[in-house]
Amino acid sequence: MSRPRVSVLIPSYNHARFLPATLQSVFDQTFTDYEVVVVDDGSTDGSVELLRCYGERIRLFTQPNRGTYPTLNRCIAESRGRYLAILNSDDLWAPTKLEKQVALLDTQPQVGLVHTDGRFIDAEGKMLSGNPLGFEWPRTPSGNIIEALVRCNKIIASSVMVRRECFDRLGGFREDLFGSGDWEMWFRIALEYDIAFIDEPLTFYRVHGANASFQHRRVYEDDVRVREQTIHANEARLWQRATSRHAMRLALAHSYACLGTEYALLGDRRRACRAYWQSLRLYPLRLKSLLRLALTLLPIRPPL
């Protein structure tokens, strides 16, 4: 059996309502040398029965519920393609997405990951205006974007196509993370490869009440782990990878400030203060860090 050029990786969990449209957006691709690898993560809503109806059009695997990143790693392990494209089981693609990403990776060997512009849609598939998740669709330049990923996650998972060699070299997603494992993975890739961006709305992210991004405390805890254990643990490597020392200094100051705010939101004032001090050490003129440090140092008033 010949290996496909692209493996479409679909981690499935309780999205039976959305799966037919998600899969149809794959079947409608103008690029056709692909396989569809679906790993169902213990769904209880009839997703597996629905998926079995697709027969040989997909390669279906099932497992007890383990979470997003163990499921993505299982998708990678079961896949055979040279390029891997992630599609969450409630999102959609425009018909030319795979074609344009494959063409870019074929001609730019220094690029490890390519992502696309996109739009937010509601449960019925209608375009949403504004910023329904509190942020604009992440956009980046193409090239070395390490400073951007020090600041925050700038890449939507369903928009990416990644070379298999990135996972072979760097390992898979961290399975102890809840919602920030994609950011942590993209950061590790960006330390070694360029990142490309296709400035066309080729990905559609569905916003509904069950999105993991709405579970705020777990996201804060994840972000703390990523910043401390991956970003700031690699500062020596970051200075080597920096596009400019000034840009990296500002990015690290921003990251420490975010870390301080996340610790404050989690109720750890001591670590919050320490992170704000680190931010100010890197960039003493960062007034937001100074203000937040002052607020963190204020005594907590007892409730009336």
φ/ψ of residue 19, rounded to 5? -55, -45
- Residue 303 domain-assigned? no
Q: Does residue 146 sit within a domain?
A: yes
Mean of pLDDT values over 12-23:
97
Confidence (pLDDT) at 217: 86
Domain check: are 114 and 254 in the same one? Answer: no
76 and 110: one domain? yes
Q: How many domains does the chain have?
A: 2
> What is the band of 215 on the pLDDT scale with cuts at 50, 70, 90?
low
* Residue in 277, 276, 280 with CA at minimum distance from that of residue 264: 276
If asked whether residues 242 and 201 sit together in one domain, one would say: no
Tens of pLDDT, residues 269-278: 999 999 999 9
10 and 142 belong to one structural domain? yes
DSSP-derived secondary structure letter, 56: G
> Which pLDDT does position 297 carry in this prediction?
74
Based on the fold, state whether residues 179 and 58 are members of the same structural domain.
yes
Q: Which of 185, 210, 235 is the last residue of a domain?
A: 210
Residue 293 DSSP symbol = H
Of the residues 210, 227, 252, the one at which a domain ends = 210
Residue 210 has pLDDT above 60, yes or no: no
Looking at the structure, tell me whether residues 113 and 130 fall in a common domain. Answer: yes
Q: Which amino acid is at 280?
A: L
Query: 30 lies in which domain range?
Result: 6-210
Which positions ≥6 away from 270 have C-beta within 8 Å? none
Look at residue 301 and tell me whether its pLDDT is greater than 70. Answer: no
**Confidence category of residue 300, pLDDT binned at 50, 70, 90:** low
Q: Does residue 302 fall inside a structural domain?
A: no
Between 135 and 155, where is the model more confident?
A: 155
Q: Average pLDDT over the chain, rounded to whole?
A: 93
Domain boundary (163, 186, 210) is at: 210
In a domain, 1, yes or no: no
- Whether 189 and 253 map to the same domain: the answer is no
| The pair of three-digit structure tokens given for residue 245, joined into one six-digit string | 């020392």
Backbone phi, psi, residue 193, to 5°: -135, 160
Q: What percent of the chain has pLDDT over 90?
A: 86
What pLDDT is stored for residue 288 in this prediction?
78
Continuous H helices in 108-206: 146-151, 164-170, 181-192
Segment 74-89 mean pLDDT: 98
Residue 304 forms part of a structural domain: no
Co-location of 226 and 203 in the same domain: no
Residues 30 and 62 reside in one and the same domain:
yes
Asked whether residue 279 is domain-assigned, the answer is yes
- d(Cα 20, Cα 16) in Å, to the nearest integer? 8
Is 107 inside any structural domain? yes
* Mean pLDDT value of segment 26-45: 98
